Each structure stands twice: as C-alpha cells, then as structure tokens.
Structure 1
Amino acid sequence: MNSHLPTEKQQKLKQLMVIFSILLITFVFTFLIAKPTRELSSFELDQQGQKVGSGPTEFRIYNHQVYVAVPSNGHYLIPEADLKTIRMLSDDIATRQIAVDQKHVYCGNMILNNLNPQTVRSIGDGYITDGQVSYYCSQITERNTELSVVKEVWQILLHHTGIGSKPQNYWYPHYQLETSQSPYQLTVQGTVSNGENTYFRGKLVEQANGHTMRYLPSYSGSSDRLRESSYYTADGTHVYYKNQSVPVQDHPQLMVFDFGGGIESEFLHDPKTQNFYYQTSPFSQKYSPYRLLNKDDEHAHDPLFLSQQGIYFFHRKEQKLQRTGDNPFSQKMTQLAPDVFHNGQDTYYLGLYDKYIRSGRGTKLCYRSTVLYRLKNAPVNRWQKIAEVKYGDGRWRAATIWKNGAQYYYFDEFGQGQGFKQAVYQIKDAYALRFILNPSRSSDDIRQYVRRGILLSPQADRLLQAKYDEKFCLSLFWSESE
C-alpha cells in the first residue's frame, strides 16, 4: 500500500479549499468591479431632508424615505417606517432619538418590540412605556458590541457592493425593563424604579432603593463648586458605579473626584478608611492609607496618590495601581500653589511630558506622562510671594509671582487647557517681570508668555513619571532613555 497516496479526508479538504478559493476570487472580482453604494451625506439630509416633527429630532424624510442620525456612523435608512404616520414620541430633547408610526416604536433605526405605538409615552430621560411594556432608549450612541469583527467586515463588503445594508456598528443602546404591575417612575436623573426594580440608564441595579437614590457629590477642577457625580450613586446603604455595586457603605462624607472630565475619569474617596476606588475597584489595602496629591488636572494627566510606601497612580488602561517612585512627602507636605509643593527641604511641581516621534508619515504620540519635578537651586526657606498675575483689567487671576533669592518664578494657575503644561516657570529677566506684572487685557496675552520666551522652563530633576503608552513606537527602544 502506498502511504503517500492522499487519504479521503485530504481529498475532501483540497476540494473545499478549491471551492473556497473560487468563491473568494469571485467575490473580490465582484467587489472591485461593482459600483460602490453611494451613502447620503449628513449635509444632504440636514439641508434637503424634511424634519420629522417640529421639535428636537434625529429623524429626516428624504426622497420618500425615513432616515435617522446615528452619531459616529452617519445616517441609517429605516425601511419599515411609514411615511404617513411617522412622528416623534414627544417634543422633549431626551426623546429626539425615538419615533413612532402606526405599527412600530423606533429607538434610532431599531424597532422596540412589543410596544403599543398607540399608547406609548415618555417617562423621562429616555425611558418609555405603553402601560404594560417599558424600555430604555439611550440618548447617546455606543459601539455595538453584539456585532463581531468578522460579521462587520463581511457586512461592509456586502454593503459596498450594494448587496447588503449598512452594518450596525453603532446604535442607540436599548433595554427592555422587567414587566411589572407597578408603574416605573423617574427618581433621579437616568434612574427609574417601580418599588421593586431600579434601573440606571436601562440596566438593573440590584438591591437598590430607587426612591432614596442620590448622586454623590463630585469635585472637578474646572468648577469652583461641587456638582453631582456622573456615575456614582448611593441609596443610604449601598453605593453604585453605574449599575454595579461598590464595596463600601454609604455615608455623608463620601466624595468623588472627577479627574479629566472624561467618560471614565471619576475616583471615589472614602475619608473614613482613607481609601480610593476606581469604578468599583478599591485600591490595594497593602499600601493604604492614601492621600491625593493633586485634586485638579491642571498640569497632570492622572491623579497621584501618596502612601508611606511610595507614590502611585491608577493605570486606567491596564486597570491597576502602579508605583511610580518614593514619596518625598512622607513626613511633611506644604502646598505653595496649585501643583507646587515642598517637604521642608525641596520644592516640587507637576508637569506633563508627552513623547512624540516624527517621520515621513506624520507625527505619532507614543506615550503620555505626568511628571513630578524637583526644582534646583531654590531653598525652601527663601520663598516669598510678591504678586498676582491678572488679566481682564485685573478681574481674574492667572498665576502668582514668587521670589527665591535673586530669581523670580511664575506659578501658573491656567493649566494645560490654556497651553501651560507645567506649574512652575522661571521669569527670564527684570524686564520680563515688569511686563508680566502689568494687568493683561485678555487670556491670549498670558498664553503668549511661553511662546515669546518671557517664561522659561526652570532647572529641575525629573523625580518620577506616571506614564502610559498611546501607541507602540519601536524607535524608542534605541533612542535615548526618557
């Protein structure tokens, strides 16, 4: 018997590979010669389309068809929509993504099953009900996690050739609530309860008392006063991040720090235990208690947390606490100005260091970092505050001026949003000092100081760096150490 002859399984596999290759070549050829499906632009629909209803709406009628805007992926056709009866659910801006016709209720371009379009009404904040069935339809679009990468690629190819419809890679998230005899009522923003079940933005919050729910107070450096947290709530007993339980008991001293103002920028602080939480995760008890060094994001990408064991930051991409270096403030810390500190021996300040590389393909951001600098040649016992830098005819403060020996320093309070990436600058000379002390007409005048060389980076040591990568940059491996 010849062992080299192909087996029956090998022959079938070869046949399948041939068939697959033929189908692939046919599809690629069709894809290349087919006329791509032309997608209507948002400009065409907004300018030439007819709005559905007279109030806030994401729906347009164009060329006898109904379309809806789905931010992050343009407009979608709703082939099931009835032109004669299509209407908005209400004139409330919170329902601008919800439409109704004689047969269906639409959350964006998705049909909400089992709802009676004749009796459906808004509860508030995206919650709707027909008296029996209730839904939540988000006002903000999200990535459709139910659509796999393989399916999305396949649907893109079909749509390109005009064979299939546009892939639903973004949508308005929507959830059906548990059916109940007791009606759902809005308790706090984004939350409904019927006395048995409580939902936060459409998701069940287990064991929550919806009628005692409140948002925790939140501190943000962009505001002079506390506001409500975006995601942390409590009901007198439990604490929640979105709809997930946080392992801490509710009490009046709980505080949220919103660092950066992004979607996942909040940290919860429990003064009783001196611990912090990111989303639902407590910081490691191994290094507690913790103290927050910088509650504002003026000259930092991330908050830095002081412990007797070192300085830490929470790596939000890797979801873990990381040590960045020794804590120079373990015995004493005095704050001179926002993001400027001393420990009785040396002066420290915060700044940003973002690493870019440039090539023929453009500029790429490799990593971002928050740096704690130690100022050189500045004895702690010689600091004198001598003036404030003001603008707007002296109505607003932008910085303070300090003297140390014969040298003058500028302690910035504008922050990175105004182009100041570090908290401390050295004033160039006596002429520059006189120029700075004259009240400026606008914030634009202040921003020019660094560009014009009036303010300089002082001599300082980079003590520690809280860093996270944005993109992989191979050239960093053989470049000088940062």
Structure 2
Amino acid sequence: MKINGENLSSLKKEKPKKILLKIIIIFVFIILIFHLVELFLFFKMKSDYNFNEEILDNGQKYEKSVYIKYNDKIYACVYGDSYQLDDVDVESFKVIDSMDYSDSHVAADKKSVYFGNISIPDLNPNKLDVIGNGYYSDGVNSYFCSNSFEKNEDLANKSKVRQYIEYYFFRGEKPQEYSYLFKKVETNKSLKAVENLSCFATDGENVYYKGEILDNADLNTLKTVDRYNEYFFDKENVYYKSKLLSLSSNNKLKVVRADQEGEDYLYDGLNGNIFLKDYSFDKKYLPYQVLGEKSNHIRDLLFVSKDGIFFYNPETKEQERAGNNIFIGEIEVLNPNVISDNKSIYYLHSYDIYRKKKVKHGYIDVLVSKNIGIFDLGEKKDWEKVKDIDNGITGEVWKKGNKYYYFDNLGVHQLIDDVIYEIGDKRTLENLLGTKYISTDEIREFVKNKKLVAVKGEEVSTASIKYKESHIAKIFLIVFFTTVIAITALILYLKWRSMKLEMKKFLNIF
C-alpha cells in the first residue's frame, strides 16, 4: 500500500533494522563510557600521586614529625598519603614534640589538638599535657593515641567503595584507610603512665590499655606474656589487649608462632589451651600440642590432640580439623620442622596449589589452596643427629645408615624450598661438617648444583585452606550490561509497539 507515494510495507520491514542499530549504538556508547571512566580514574590517581610527591619533595617538614607545610596549608603524612588538616591556624600550629617519634604525630594550634590529620575538639590545646605511653590530657578530658598508623577497620568495603566514588566523581572527602587510631579514656581522674608497660596508664582505680579498661586487672602483678605486647596476665587473669580471656593465669603461658607470616598464638603450657587473639580453640579437645614453632618452612602452626590434628583457617576464621591424630605414642620435636613419634620421623612443609586460567594475553596462575603437609620419612630407629650448623639456626646434619642428610631451617624466605636434602658427595659433607658457620648463599649453591638433593616423604596429613576465585567484578559488569540492554530493548520495543498501533489506526482510517 502506498500513501502519498510512500510504500508502507517497506517502512515496516526497515523498523526492526533501525531498532537493532539503535541497540548496537547504545551498547557501544556504554562501553565507551566505561573506558572513559577507567581513563579518568587513572589520571585522577596519577594526579593524586604526583600531588603527594610534590608535597613530600617541596614542602617544609616540621623536623622529625609527620607534618608538612605546603602552600600555606598543613598536611599529615599517614601511610605514604598526605592528608590536609581542615581549618588549621597555620601561624599558631606547632608539633607537640617534633624530636620525639612517640609524639611526632600529635600537634596543636590555638583552636584544636590534632592526632595525625584529625582534629580532637574536646581537648584544650592551651592546657594539653603529655602523660606518656600515648596518653594526652587537658585536665578534663583524656585520650590515648597510637604512635603508629593502623588500618581503619570501621571503613567497611561498601563504605569504602561509596567514599571513593564520591571522592573521584563528586569532590567528596578522600577516604582514609590508615590513621593514628585514638580512644577517649572514660575517666574524670588524673592518668599516670605505667612504667615498662607500653600503651598502659592508670587513674589509681582502673588500668587502661590503649584507652580501654582491663577488667579486674591487678597492676602490681600485671606483665606481658613473653615480653609480647598484646597478651597480658596478672596473678589471676589473662588478657588479649583489653579483652579478658577465659583462661586462668599460670607461669607456663607463652606466645608461639611459625615463620614471619604466621599468627601469634597464646599457648597455655599447663592445660594445653590455645588462643588466637581472643578466639579460643575448642576446649573439648584439650590438651593441644604445638607443631612447627619457629619453623621457616610452614606458614602457620599445627595443633595435635588425641582427637585429631587442628589448624586455624583465616578464611573461615575458625579452628578446623586436618584429620586424625596419625602419631603413635609421644611426639618429640627434633627441630622446628622435624618431629617424631614412637615409630616414625616426619617433617612439616607448606606449599601452594595453583591452576592455570586462560586470559586475553595468555594464562595466569590462580591460587586454589594453601597447604601445610606432614610428611613421613619412615622409621626413626636408624636416624642419628650428627651436627648443628650455626647452632641449628641454619640447619643440621643427620645420618641414616651410610647416607648423610641436611635438615634445613633457613626456609622459603631464604629461597630454600625443601626441608630435607640428601648430601650428594663427600666434599659437600666435609664442608658442612668442617665449619661452624656456612652462608645462605653457599647452601643455595649446593642446592642449585645438586650437591644437596631434595628428599620427598609421603604426605600423611594435610591442613588445607581453600580459596574461591572472586567473580564479583565480572558478575557486576554482566548484570549491569544485561540490565542496561534489557531496559533499552524494552523502551525501544514499547516505542516500536506504540508506533505500530498508531500505524494500524492510521491504516484503518483509510
């Protein structure tokens, strides 16, 4: 049919093509917007980095403090980032003690006191008194402020994302993931720093750690466990920081850990209790025995009881069971990495499992699990210790039959991957036996040149921490694009349907 010389049937055929073209254009436009946003964020972050470097390089630093004056503004350098002090009076601004690192993060002007870049409105700068151990008071209000920056746990992930969006796109306040954490001390009495106990103060009635009260603490008997500054005990109670633990005080408390990456556990040598911070291992499995203390070949400790082998899983934040207790009789610790029972000798070793994942430009390794294995070396009756190397700090030489072995304690941080090595030739054995000290470089050379050959035992128990690959970003993009396309298609469909109805009405008229 033709109206005014125009073929309506051809118009009807062209409309789906136009709709499809619009969808494609909108899709391309969305992708372009994402690339522009990515480019904008890159330049914004680069601009922030350059500005931060400009302040550090060209600003006027207040001696050994964290404060820098730049373009008549004051900034505090916290974890490598410079944060501006709001409404500061530059003329009267001064650091409390710019030559003492313990107070170099505290400053004042005529109006306010500052902890890092944060103003404390209820501290009078004209009456500020440095009490010591991180405590400050104006005679009315008192605060504790840490002299080292810490991660701001209150900045949750959702809040952080929102704050970064506001900062980058809407000139919002810069999110601060690290700060000098502070706490107001809830007392109207005068505080006094406690000697030989860092971060402690007392008002004569209560004892405070980092501004928090230690319930029922006896200051006269209060001390740190193994001189460690987060587990404390007095004549009756045991604390993690200011938290009272469900544990009776005794003189066999100690802090145990594996290598540099491991957690610090509180071990009760009297009853076999285990605590990680204020988390208690299940008491129904008591007593526990520690495996791997001071080991440089495992990332965290294992704990054995008659009911199984246990470990702490940082992913689930709970104690987990690796398996049955495989040991026969008494467990003897031969060195940090090697143990034995009444029958066999074992070693402890950490390893990771990865899988290959295809990406645009090849493959990447994706972490599947982190594992701590117990490996069986066979019966122990023929094993004999020959010598400590550097008092056992480097390792040990052992003998089984007519073969000699090197037991390593340098570990993965010194690029020594395995625990047990067979000594491959007489010359290497003489080098290891004939010297009190041998360098790490020499041990690495022995391994590289196959003078020390790794020995693999049979893995008989495994503590495994499994990781799931995060697909949140991909899911978000897929959902976002799908939603946008669906809404766009719906709008175009409704528009097309409306036009079709109008066309039908128009044709009915004729």
Shorter-chain TM-score: what band?
0.7 to 0.9
Task: Give the drift of 1:84.
Answer: 0.9
After superposition, the Cα gap between the structure-2 partners of 1:334 and 1:134, relative to the gap in structure 1 and judged at 3 Å, is closer
After superposition, the Cα gap between the structure-2 partners of 1:161 and 1:320, relative to the gap in structure 1 and judged at 3 Å, is closer
Question: Are 2:297 and 2:409, in contact at CA under 8 Å, matched by a contact in 1?
Answer: no
Distance in 1 between the 2:164 and 2:123 partners?
Answer: 31
Deviation string 1:161-219 (CA, Å, 9 cap, x unpaired) is 463231233322111111313334335211111023322122232332345421112xx
Alignment of 1:258-337 (within 5 A): 258-261=257-260, 265-337=263-335
After superposition, the Cα gap between the structure-2 partners of 1:99 and 1:30, relative to the gap in structure 1 and judged at 3 Å, is farther
1:385 aligns with 2:394: no
Q: Which residue of 2 aligns with 1:342?
A: 340
Aligned-partner residue type, residue 443 of structure 1: T
* Aligned partner of residue 160 in structure 1, secondary structure: helix
Task: Give the drift of 1:336.
Answer: 3.7
Question: Are 1:258 and 1:267, in contact at CA under 8 Å, matched by a contact in 2?
Answer: yes
* Aligned partner of residue 195 in structure 1, secondary structure: coil
Aligned-partner residue type, residue 198 of structure 1: V
1:461 aligns with 2:470: no
* Aligned partner of residue 208 in structure 1, secondary structure: coil
Q: Which residue of 1 aligns with 2:403?
A: 407
Task: Give the drift of 1:368.
Answer: 1.8
Distance in 1 between the 2:164 and 2:35 partners?
Answer: 16
Question: Are 1:308 and 1:330, in contact at CA under 8 Å, matched by a contact in 2?
Answer: no
Distance in 2 between the 1:469 and 1:453 partners?
Answer: 33
Task: Give the drift of 1:246.
Answer: 0.3
Q: Which residue of 2 aligns with 1:166?
A: 174
After superposition, the Cα gap between the structure-2 partners of 1:242 and 1:317, relative to the gap in structure 1 and judged at 3 Å, is farther
Aligned-partner residue type, residue 150 of structure 2: E
Q: Which residue of 1 aligns with 2:479?
A: none
Distance in 1 between the 2:353 and 2:199 partners?
Answer: 39
Alignment of 1:440-451 (within 5 A): 442-451=439-448
Question: Are 2:346 and 2:374, in contact at CA under 8 Å, matched by a contact in 1?
Answer: yes
1:141 aligns with 2:146: no
- Pick one of 149, 169, 185 that aligns with 2:193: 185
Aligned-partner residue type, residue 400 of structure 1: E
May I ask how many residue pairs the two structures share in their alignment? 430
Percent sequence identity is 28
After superposition, the Cα gap between the structure-2 partners of 1:334 and 1:197, relative to the gap in structure 1 and judged at 3 Å, is closer
Question: Are 2:432 and 2:438, in contact at CA under 8 Å, matched by a contact in 1?
Answer: no
Range 399-408 or range 188-197, more displaced:
399-408
* Aligned partner of residue 447 in structure 1, secondary structure: helix
Question: Are 1:128 and 1:135, in contact at CA under 8 Å, matched by a contact in 2?
Answer: yes
Q: Which residue of 2 aligns with 1:206?
A: 215
Distance in 2 between the 1:461 and 1:50 partners?
Answer: 62
Structure 1: stretches of 5+ with no match in the other structure: 1-23, 218-227, 475-482
Range 117-126 or range 163-172, more displaced:
163-172
Structure whose residues are more often helix by fraction:
2
Task: Give the drift of 1:441.
Answer: 5.7
Aligned-partner residue type, residue 43 of structure 1: E
Root-mean-square deviation over aligned CA pairs? 3.1
After superposition, the Cα gap between the structure-2 partners of 1:150 and 1:338, relative to the gap in structure 1 and judged at 3 Å, is closer
Deviation string 1:109-153 (CA, Å, 9 cap, x unpaired) is 111121110121222232111122111122233333444544433
Question: Are 2:131 and 2:191, in contact at CA under 8 Å, matched by a contact in 1?
Answer: no
Q: Which residue of 2 aligns with 1:368?
A: 370
After superposition, the Cα gap between the structure-2 partners of 1:423 and 1:320, relative to the gap in structure 1 and judged at 3 Å, is same
After superposition, the Cα gap between the structure-2 partners of 1:258 and 1:95, relative to the gap in structure 1 and judged at 3 Å, is farther
Aligned-partner residue type, residue 244 of structure 1: K
Distance in 1 between the 2:190 and 2:124 partners?
Answer: 18
* Aligned partner of residue 442 in structure 2, secondary structure: helix
Aligned-partner residue type, residue 48 of structure 1: N
Q: Which residue of 1 aligns with 2:86?
A: 79
Q: Which residue of 2 aligns with 1:257?
A: 256
* Aligned partner of residue 349 in structure 1, secondary structure: strand
Task: Give the drift of 1:271.
Answer: 2.8
Distance in 1 between the 2:308 and 2:395 partners?
Answer: 30
Aligned-partner residue type, residue 457 of structure 1: A
Aligned-partner residue type, residue 185 of structure 1: A
Aligned-partner residue type, residue 371 of structure 2: S
Question: Are 1:87 and 1:99, in contact at CA under 8 Å, matched by a contact in 2?
Answer: yes
Distance in 2 between the 1:401 and 1:304 partners?
Answer: 25
Aligned-partner residue type, residue 314 of structure 1: Y
Task: Give the drift of 1:307.
Answer: 1.3
Aligned-partner residue type, residue 407 of structure 2: F
Distance in 1 between the 2:301 and 2:438 partners?
Answer: 33
Question: Are 2:75 and 2:85, in contact at CA under 8 Å, matched by a contact in 1?
Answer: yes
Aligned-partner residue type, residue 138 of structure 2: D
Q: Which residue of 1 aligns with 2:484?
A: none
After superposition, the Cα gap between the structure-2 partners of 1:327 and 1:420, relative to the gap in structure 1 and judged at 3 Å, is farther
After superposition, the Cα gap between the structure-2 partners of 1:297 and 1:388, relative to the gap in structure 1 and judged at 3 Å, is closer
After superposition, the Cα gap between the structure-2 partners of 1:148 and 1:306, relative to the gap in structure 1 and judged at 3 Å, is closer
Range 435-444 or range 106-115, more displaced:
435-444
Which has the higher Rg, Structure 1 or Structure 2?
2
Q: Which residue of 1 aligns with 2:53?
A: 43
Task: Give the drift of 1:471.
Answer: 5.2
1:427 aligns with 2:436: no
Q: TM-score normalised to the size of structure 1?
A: 0.80
Distance in 1 between the 2:459 and 2:34 partners?
Answer: 55
Q: TM-score normalised to the size of structure 2?
A: 0.76
Aligned-partner residue type, residue 372 of structure 1: I
Question: Are 2:373 and 2:462, in contact at CA under 8 Å, matched by a contact in 1?
Answer: yes
After superposition, the Cα gap between the structure-2 partners of 1:146 and 1:423, relative to the gap in structure 1 and judged at 3 Å, is closer
After superposition, the Cα gap between the structure-2 partners of 1:455 and 1:231, relative to the gap in structure 1 and judged at 3 Å, is same
Task: Give the drift of 1:383.
Answer: 2.0
* Aligned partner of residue 354 in structure 1, secondary structure: strand
